[in-house]
Structure 1
Amino acid sequence: MEKVKSQIEGKTLVVERSFNAPRALVFEAFSTPAHLEAWWGPAGWKTEVRTFEFEPGGTWHYKMTCVDKEQGDYYGMESWGKSTFLEIDPHRKIVYTDAFSDADGHVNPELPVMTITNEFVDIPNGTLFISRSEFTDAESLQQVVEMGAVEGFSSQLERLDAIVSR
């Protein structure tokens, strides 16, 4: 199984992973609320989509809840996110802003907002997924990395792989 590759380029975190699944299927997993609820978030977390308007200018507001008692202090914790879609090129690219928010969708000004570009590329036997998270400054990028973003994203891409490679 292909593991996640990640690197930092200036103020941008780049994460790549290949999937043994067609590009249209991998794209659909990122563009359909029911699919996102099945895999979004690290292992042991459940995602609930509040709003999902998959069009430029549309928003995606969601809640992740830790449902794994083994995760100690995280168990029962809620984490809210809010994204705004900027560009959608079906089966090729999704660009959106991503922010931490509260239950009402108010963005948390104390945590970084990033612009994410997800690309879906045909490769032999599947799809190469490339995600570029661009931050306003290197400190914000470091803050999110220290919060475990790479490990969390890797974990959720493993969950996605279990679904799309079936």
Structure 2
Amino acid sequence: MGAVKSHVEGNTLVVERSFRASRELVFEAFSSPTHLESWWGPAGWKTEVRTFAFEPGGTWHYKMTCVDKNQGDYYGMESWGKSTFVEITPHRKIVYTDAFSDADGNINSDFPVMTITNEFLDIPHGTLLVSRSEFSDVESLEKVVETGAVEGFASQLERLDAIVSR
């Protein structure tokens, strides 16, 4: 249904993608560890959820592993992430902090921590996801964009679309 659109507003990266699926279904894909493991992460990466407490103050700690031999030096690489949920409005909005971490859940201070607000909006024939990643400053935003984060997020939203549009 939709290509990913992105733009920058100050120190916030805004990414939008539409889905041919109900708002409830798209929201559920973000709110269950089983669902997240099936689509989270760029193509060629497998996600494993270590902890997941979907409530304000709850944390989500996960590992992504590159399982695609065609990705060269990335093959076999692990990347850990840790999020803390701030606000949840069922089927409408999820706000959380997102950071790189280690296997024990310690935040990696070499990378910026961002606050992500995902909004799920009704549109004709589906749902519009508006994801806003807010950084402490423009330099941190640019650092994350340079890592290919927009392309990676676009890739994982393609994976999500393949599931929810079934």
TM-score range, shorter chain: over 0.9
Aligned-pair CA distance for 1:79: 0.2
Structure 1 residue aligned with 2:157: 157
Q: Distance in 1 between matches of 2:2 and 2:144?
A: 24
Corresponding residue pairs, total: 166
- 1:111 is paired with a residue of what secondary structure? coil
1:118 maps to 2:118: yes
- The residue type paired with residue 143 of structure 1 is K
Q: Distance in 2 between matches of 1:71 and 1:29?
A: 26
**Percent pairwise identity:** 82
- The residue type paired with residue 165 of structure 1 is S
Q: What are the superposed Cα offsets for residues 48-75 of structure 1, whole Å, 9 maximum, x if unpaired?
A: 0000000000000000000000000000
1:119-134 equivalence runs, <5 A: 119-134=119-134
- The residue type paired with residue 72 of structure 1 is G
Unaligned runs of 5+ in 2: none
1:106 maps to 2:106: yes
Q: Distance in 2 between matches of 1:20 and 1:140?
A: 33
Q: What are the superposed Cα offsets for residues 140-159 of structure 1, whole Å, 9 maximum, x if unpaired?
A: 00000000000000000000
1:38 maps to 2:38: yes
Structure 1 residue aligned with 2:89: 89
**TM-score of the superposition, structure 2-length normalised?**
1.00
Q: What are the superposed Cα offsets for residues 22-64 of structure 1, whole Å, 9 maximum, x if unpaired?
A: 0000000000000000000000000000000000000000000
- 2:84 is paired with a residue of what secondary structure? strand
Aligned-pair CA distance for 1:106: 0.0
Aligned-pair CA distance for 1:89: 0.1
**TM-score of the superposition, structure 1-length normalised?**
1.00
1:4-19 equivalence runs, <5 A: 4-19=4-19
Aligned-pair CA distance for 1:116: 0.1
Q: Distance in 2 between matches of 1:2 and 1:123?
A: 12
- The residue type paired with residue 79 of structure 1 is S
- The residue type paired with residue 46 of structure 2 is K
Structure 1 residue aligned with 2:67: 67
- The residue type paired with residue 16 of structure 2 is E
Q: Distance in 2 between matches of 1:101 and 1:155?
A: 22
Q: Distance in 1 between matches of 2:30 and 2:2?
A: 19
Q: Distance in 2 between matches of 1:92 and 1:23?
A: 8
